Amino acid sequence: GQNIDQPTEMTATEGAIVQINCTYQTSGFNGLFWYQQHAGEAPTFLSYNVLDGLEEKGRFSSFLSRSKGYSYLLLKELQMKDSASYLCAVRDTITGFQKLVFGTGTRLLVSP
């Protein structure tokens, strides 16, 4: 089966750092994605990890530990516009085709 867990909601202050965790148990694994989704809008790709370690992309970094089934998204220098839902998604290509299985999403609220 597929099980991807994230905290439901987090709050943080402008300028701070926040870490959003994601744990997964899936039948197949070929990478983990983080997407940002503002209310009523499409998910936007943020980062991708397929090997263990940290990937840095400006204010956003993502970490993966495959042995622990664990990832986190780190957001630095938070801005008000970072208030959104953050979706962790595992890519399963066990069938030979790319299938994204999304976690429930973490709603982040950034306050002044």
Q: List interacting residues with other proteins (CB under 8 A).
A: 30, 33, 35, 40-45, 48, 87, 89, 93, 95-105
Please identify, using beta-carbon distances, which residue of 42 and 51 lies nearer to other proteins: 42
CB of 102 to other proteins, least distance (A): 3
Please identify, using beta-carbon distances, which residue of 66 and 107 lies nearer to other proteins: 107
DSSP 101: E
DSSP, collapsed to helix, strand or coil, labels residue 4 as strand
CB of 32 to other proteins, least distance (A): 11
Please identify, using beta-carbon distances, which residue of 60 and 102 lies nearer to other proteins: 102
Q: Amino acid identity of 44? A: T
